Chain A
Amino acid sequence: MSVITEKVPVTRAASGETAARRPVAGARIRRRPHGQNNRAGYTFLLPWLIGFIGLTAGPMIASLYLSFTEYNLFSPPEWIGLDNYARLFADPRFQQSAVVTLTYVLIGTPVKLVVSLAVAMLLNNNRRGQSFYRSAFYVPSLVGASVAIAIVWRAMFIDDGVVDRIGAFFGIDWGGWVGDPNYTIYMFILLAAWQFGAPMVIFLAGLKDIPAELYEAADMDGAGRWRKFVSITLPTLSPVLFFNLLLEMINAFQVFGSAFIISNGSGGPAGSTLFYTLYLYQRGFEDQQLGYASALAWVLLVVIGIVTAIFFRSSKMWVHYGGDAR
């Protein structure tokens, strides 16, 4: 079988335009009946289907069931109804983990995105070295989630460590952040901000798509920097912003590795680094309270679901799709 290459006029237009290129009469048209496509479709989809049912949907239902039971792994699960959920809401550690996680999501994510947007705007020019900087700034995103960096990060924030010394240089005596429950969360926020590279690259791509004419027109109208930012950049970027914000938030809810390493699995000191996932891990896999841990998981799912729904709803108000002149 040969693949026809040059004879066919390849139109580099968006997909869907092939209707204009109907084959000439007499040629064999293998138009598949719907049934055949179904078979092909599901054959190709089979791996994903197996994965979806076996590793996603199935477990989801199972964990919902488990959340109504008491299960310590050694004996069969015991139905206890809503007890886990009742316990959850009165549980001081659950509350701690909720506060820690929400603080991280609500402060860390915006900080990260603001930094990445700012740097993207800094880089959005045609100067030499721009692609070098872009790549260099991206490096932390590659390694930021690793155990290695978590270890280094912790080592930087101990008593007399790097950050302590830097503070001392500016006359601030904040000691080691690792041991101070009031400061520990900022270690993680800084770690998040440090990884601004990935959203930055996306923002940069988005910025480059904004036609220069818009800015020029604004210039001629006498618009200042800020005005241009608010009225041109932000709205045009809003889909990208939405995408970034949503993904970063979902990720922020699921932080585990760095929390585990920096706190040595304890979520301490005094529960100040007890991220939700860490708490779930402790309850489920260390304390062997798998029913309770399942309840924790479902609460998180519901919260994320609500947050996502609110997000999508609100997006109608501030996200502008396809509004660019291109």
Chain B
Amino acid sequence: MSTVTTRTLVVPDEKKRARIPQRKRADRGRRLAGSVLFHVVSIAVLIVLLYPAAWMVLSAFKPSSDIVGNVSLIPDTWTLENFTQVFEGIAGMSFWRFAWNSLVLAVLTVVGVCLSSSVTAYAFARIDFRGRGIWFALMIGTLLLPFHVVIIPQYIVFNQLHLINTFTPLLIGRFLATEAFFVFLLVQFMRSVPRDLDEAARIDGAGHLRIFTTIMLPLMRPALVTCSIFAFLGSWNDFFGPLLYLKSPDLYPLPIALRLYIDSTSASNFGAQMAMAVLSLLPVLLFFLIFQRYIVGGIATSGLKG
């Protein structure tokens, strides 16, 4: 793989347009038609795209029996019964317990990822040490590694250490920078930070630790925010890990708890499922609304080019 650079989003330059020969009325008309077409198509895509989400949200307000056959989005009868059922809990646990578990896992994930990934990225981006190239290549290699080849031994080891049914197996990797994606993102970002400040600090006698904590970290805030968001979302939606390692209902995060509602020994309750699905996705949506700039921007800058 050749070296990678980051590019920031570039909005087409207004000045360029001035160089184009003078707009004529016909051009303006065409532009208007183009604009209308653009919006029409975009809105059409938007509707098709968001239909499932809208269906889910509105179904949560329908009584269970009305959900299945109903194509129409708007409920015939609005009811909050599904939500009350969800809050009543299942298997003796309340919804808040599941949400709390998800929250604890997600927050700790964010902490772990930020700490370990930034430290690792600093090593790769800023410190020249022997073997750096090899370790870096190996780290990138793990991006392409399917997790299947590691879960079974990990599971066995955690079992021997009596760590099954705790949060530890799910979190330990986060504190050890096992997710190369975040390290990579931060390395990219760090490389684009000029070394002048580093050099200056070094002249002043600063060691790597000082440089890291007082110069790098503050500068890296946008990238760290992006990492935090993705780490949070990744943990919030994680299903396989909790499925494997969490066995008692009082530890279940939302994705696993959601599954309890479709247990085969009791009749399925569509309404409550939808309500719980909505509730479990609310934080995600909220996050997105607040941080969308970072999310979308972060995705853009991670794009590999050249």
* Contact, chains A and B (beta carbon distance below 8 A): yes
Chain A residues within 8 Å of B, Cβ to Cβ: 1-4, 8, 10-13, 15-18, 21, 23, 27-30, 34, 37-38, 40-42, 44-45, 47-52, 54-56, 58-60, 62-64, 66, 73, 119, 122-123, 125-127, 129, 133-140, 142-143, 145-149, 151-153, 155-156, 158, 160-162, 165-166, 194, 198, 201-202, 204-206, 208-209, 212, 216, 239-240, 242-243, 246-247, 250, 253-254, 256-257, 260-261, 264, 277, 280-281, 284-285, 290, 293-294, 296-298, 300-301, 304, 308, 312, 321-322
The interface residues of chain A lying within 8 Å CB-to-CB of B207 are 40
B142 x A37 contact (CB < 8 A): no
A47 x B259 contact (CB < 8 A): no
A143 x B53 contact (CB < 8 A): yes
The interface residues of chain B lying within 8 Å CB-to-CB of A48 are 116, 119-120, 123, 135, 139, 176-177, 183
Nearest 8 interchain pairs by C-beta? A41-B129, A51-B176, A148-B277, A44-B123, A297-B148, A62-B153, A205-B300, A59-B153
From DSSP, what is the main secondary structure of chain B's interface residues? Answer: helix
B305 x A30 contact (CB < 8 A): no
The interface residues of chain B lying within 8 Å CB-to-CB of A161 are 68-69
Given contacts A10-B194, A119-B45, contact A50 B304 (CB under 8 A): no
Bound Cα distance A212, B258 (Å): 49
A124 to chain B, nearest CB (A): 9
Bound Cα distance A36, B303 (Å): 34
Question: Per a CB cutoff under 8 Å, which of A133, A145, A198 touches B42?
Answer: A133
From DSSP, what is the main secondary structure of chain A's interface residues? Answer: helix
The interface residues of chain B lying within 8 Å CB-to-CB of A151 are 258, 262, 273-274, 277
The interface residues of chain B lying within 8 Å CB-to-CB of A260 are 239, 243
Bound Cα distance A149, B296 (Å): 21
The interface residues of chain A lying within 8 Å CB-to-CB of B152 are 59, 62-63, 66, 284, 290, 293-294, 297
Given contacts A28-B203, A162-B71, A205-B303, contact A304 B144 (CB under 8 A): yes
Given contacts A41-B127, A60-B149, A148-B280, contact A30 B259 (CB under 8 A): no
Instruction: Find the B residue at minimum CB distance from A134.
Output: B296
Bound Cα distance A209, B5 (Å): 13
The interface residues of chain A lying within 8 Å CB-to-CB of B1 are 312
- With an 8 A cutoff between CB atoms, is B26 at the interface? no
Q: Chain A interface: which of B33-41, B81-89, B220-228?
A: B33-41
Question: Per a CB cutoff under 8 Å, which of A3, A54, A56, A312 touches B145?
Answer: A56
